């Protein structure tokens, strides 16, 4: 049934048209172009940050100045002029998170265009209150599971829903700026504790200029009562987006978090350098899902988002669990390795990934599973699909340190090539420093078999429909990891991403 959706969608599509490629005309407030201590002071002052936060940013900036852009990834792009970018842009009408009534209707329109699930739009638009039955629900289907949404528009978090309900459970879900104001002790304690300021070139840049992002804290023993979700949108021209997300699951807590990203169609490239830090304490579990659909550039490789992201989770205490699920269909360049530090004994890390590249897209993505504690385990399932003239690389590290006794990893990396002008690459690193670690890694690369294509097409599907169908089967193991609400959307997205890849 879901597959039928995909097929219908593929039928409807205008080839070479990025669905999310509109811009929203809202008055913006910018920091001066370029990067300097002054700009950083400007950002910090705009946000009324405490002195320690400014000092932290300035330190990051100093480190960043001594660093060079990494070149090891299998991606190539013209040198970025970091002085030509704007590092801060905010919709003028809203200088900080406001209640829904105050939100510019144009923003709400934007959410609609972003494909934010209809049920959430209702909430965003105030049509429906939390817990109320949706008019969109089928009869007798009962109330849907609510999803709390935080939307980040260029540099600023504009709206966070369901705050009250979450607060009742003790869950803090707000923008980082708000968290700095209302919960400075938590931010101070955890910010940079997983991805330090000088971790890598882009992380340092982010630490210096990050504008906003989401903050989540789930108190001990609490199961977050709903999915948390953030939508990121780059709108302004020549603007870098540097959001920072910090999620802490205290002892025995559970939270599931989903982020979605889009950007308008622009001829110029846009830079996105985010940092996500996850901290899971004893027995806690964090499930982090991403559907990344930034503008990939046109079919000749013009424009598109450079997505240089550092995501890392720290299973800081025993029996903690962190699970990353990502669907990467957008961006001109993706440079992204959501990782897990398995520090606590018996902690577990998971990475499930679908990376689709088409046109001139370049993807270099994968994960790192760093086993430090005893009896830690990890699992990696990566599905790469390369089409058009794209390059799609899986790069991953699994390491077990000397004291990581009885560490276990299972990795399965499959690549699918569609057409003979693309490349699919697998670059895994395995480092076993103890004999008690059991590592198992497997990878395959192949194309869609002619037999499969013939079979499906003999049932009346077009070539493109057949590809979408088979690809959806290829990625099933990963799709199943996504929250229910997003599975169908993602299947459609896969169809869209692959359009024009055959024939």
Partner 1 sequence: MTSAAATAVLTPAEMAIGTPLPTRRQEDWKWTDLRRRIETPYARGAGVADPSRVARLIAADPLAKLPLRRVVFVNGVLDRSHSDLTGLALKDGAPALAEAEWLAAMNTTLEAQPVTFTVSGTADRPLHLMFLTLADAPAAAGARVHIDVAEGASLQFIESHRGIGAYLANPALTIQLGKGARMDRAKLELEGAEATHLAVAELTLAADAVLRDFTLTSGAALNRQNGRITFAGEGADARVTGAYLLGGAQHADTRLVVDHQVPRCLSREVFKCVMDGDARGVFQGKVIVAPDAQKTDGKQSSHALLLSERAEFDAKPELEIYADDVVCGHGATSGDLDHDHMFYLMSRGIPQAEAKAMLIAAFVGEVFDGVDHEGLRDVLTAFAQNWLTAHKS
Residues that bind partner 1 (CB under 8 A): 72, 402, 415, 417-447
The residue among 103 and 398 lying less far from partner 1, judged by its C-beta, is: 398
| Smallest gap from residue 394 Cβ to partner 1 (A) | 9
The residue among 99 and 435 lying less far from partner 1, judged by its C-beta, is: 435
User: How many Cα atoms occupy the beta-carbon half-sphere of 47 within 13 Å?
Assistant: 32
| Smallest gap from residue 18 Cβ to partner 1 (A) | 25
Determine how β-strand 214-218 pairs with β-strand 172-175.
antiparallel
The residue among 48 and 444 lying less far from partner 1, judged by its C-beta, is: 444
Determine how β-strand 254-262 pairs with β-strand 227-233.
parallel
| Smallest gap from residue 467 Cβ to partner 1 (A) | 12
Which alpha helices (H) appear in 318-475, and where do they start and end?
A: 450-457, 463-474
Q: How far apart are CA 186 and CA 184, in angstroms?
A: 5
| Smallest gap from residue 463 Cβ to partner 1 (A) | 15
Determine how β-strand 377-387 pairs with β-strand 408-418.
parallel
Question: Which tokens go with 124?
Answer: 């965003």
8 — phi, psi (to 5°)? -60, -45
Strand boundaries in 156-206, DSSP class E: 156-160, 172-175
| Smallest gap from residue 455 Cβ to partner 1 (A) | 18
| Smallest gap from residue 458 Cβ to partner 1 (A) | 21
Q: How far apart are CA 4 and CA 426, in angstroms?
A: 32
- Which helix or strand (DSSP H or E) is residue 8 part of? helix 2-12
**252 Cβ partners below 8 Å, 6+ apart?**
220, 221, 222, 282, 283, 284
| Smallest gap from residue 201 Cβ to partner 1 (A) | 15
The residue among 178 and 199 lying less far from partner 1, judged by its C-beta, is: 199
Strand boundaries in 135-293, DSSP class E: 147-153, 156-160, 172-175, 214-218, 227-233, 244-249, 254-262, 269-272, 275-280, 285-292
The residue among 161 and 362 lying less far from partner 1, judged by its C-beta, is: 362
Question: Which tokens go with 18?
Answer: 């990025």
The residue among 183 and 441 lying less far from partner 1, judged by its C-beta, is: 441
Q: How many CB atoms lie within 10 A of CB 145?
A: 12
At 176 the three-state DSSP class reads helix
| Smallest gap from residue 423 Cβ to partner 1 (A) | 5
Q: What is the DSSP letter of 74?
A: S
The residue among 313 and 428 lying less far from partner 1, judged by its C-beta, is: 428
The residue among 429 and 455 lying less far from partner 1, judged by its C-beta, is: 429
Q: How far apart are CA 419 and CA 416, in angstroms?
A: 10
| Smallest gap from residue 6 Cβ to partner 1 (A) | 22
The residue among 224 and 417 lying less far from partner 1, judged by its C-beta, is: 417
The residue among 281 and 422 lying less far from partner 1, judged by its C-beta, is: 422
| Smallest gap from residue 438 Cβ to partner 1 (A) | 4
At 21 the three-state DSSP class reads coil
């Amino acid at each position: 049934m879901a597959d039928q959706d995909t097929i219908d969608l593929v039928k409807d599509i205008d080839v070479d048209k990025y669905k999310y490629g509109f811009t929203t005309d809202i008055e913006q407030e910018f920091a001066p172009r370029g990067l300097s201590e002054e700009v950083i002071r400007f950002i910090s002052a705009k946000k009324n940050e405490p002195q320690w936060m400014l000092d932290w940013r300035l330190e990051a900036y100093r480190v960043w100045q001594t660093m060079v852009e990494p070149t090891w990834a299998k991606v190539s792009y013209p040198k970025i002029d970091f002085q030509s970018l704007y590092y801060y842009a905010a919709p003028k009408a809203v200088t900080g998170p406001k209640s829904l009534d105050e939100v510019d209707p144009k923003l709400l329109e934007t959410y609609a265009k972003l494909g934010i699930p209809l049920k959430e739009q209702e909430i965003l638009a105030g049509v429906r209150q939390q817990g109320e039955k949706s008019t969109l629900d089928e009869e007798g289907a009962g109330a849907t599971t609510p999803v709390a949404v935080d939307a980040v528009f260029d540099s600023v978090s504009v709206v966070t829903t369901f705050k009250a309900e979450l607060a009742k459970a003790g869950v803090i879900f707000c923008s980082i700026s708000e968290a700095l104001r209302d919960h400075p002790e938590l931010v101070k304690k955890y910010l940079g504790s997983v991805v330090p300021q000088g971790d890598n070139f882009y992380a340092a840049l982010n630490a210096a200029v990050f504008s906003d992002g989401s903050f989540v804290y789930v108190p001990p023993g609490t199961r977050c009562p709903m999915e948390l979700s953030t939508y990121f949108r780059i709108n302004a021209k020549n603007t870098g987006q540097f959001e920072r997300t910090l999620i802490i699951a205290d002892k025995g807590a559970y939270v599931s978090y989903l982020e979605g990203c889009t950007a308008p169609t622009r001829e110029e490239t846009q830079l996105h350098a985010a940092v996500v830090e996850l901290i899971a304490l004893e027995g806690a579990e964090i499930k982090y899902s991403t559907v990344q659909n930034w503008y990939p550039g046109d079919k000749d490789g013009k424009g598109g988002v450079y997505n240089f992201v550092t995501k890392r989770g720290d299973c800081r205490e025993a029996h903690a669990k962190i699970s990353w699920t990502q669907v990467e269909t957008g961006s001109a360049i993706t440079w992204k390795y959501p990782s897990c530090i398995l520090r606590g004994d018996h902690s577990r890390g998971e990475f499930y990934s679908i990376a689709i590249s088409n046109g001139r897209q370049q993807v270099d993505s994968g994960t790192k599973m760093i086993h430090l504690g005893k009896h830690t385990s990890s699992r990696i399932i990566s599905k790469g699909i390369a089409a058009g003239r794209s390059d799609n690389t899986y790069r991953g590290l699994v390491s077990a340190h000397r004291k990581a006794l009885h560490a276990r990893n299972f990795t399965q990396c499959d690549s699918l090539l569609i057409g003979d002008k693309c490349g699919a690459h697998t670059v895994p690193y395995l480092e076993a420093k103890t004999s008690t670690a059991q590592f198992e890694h497997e990878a395959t690369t192949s194309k869609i078999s002619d037999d499969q294509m013939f079979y499906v097409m003999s049932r009346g599907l077009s070539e493109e429909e057949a590809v979408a169908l088979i690809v959806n089967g290829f990625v099933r193991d990963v799709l199943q990891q996504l929250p229910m609400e997003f599975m169908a959307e993602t299947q459609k997205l896969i169809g869209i991403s692959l359009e024009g890849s055959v024939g």
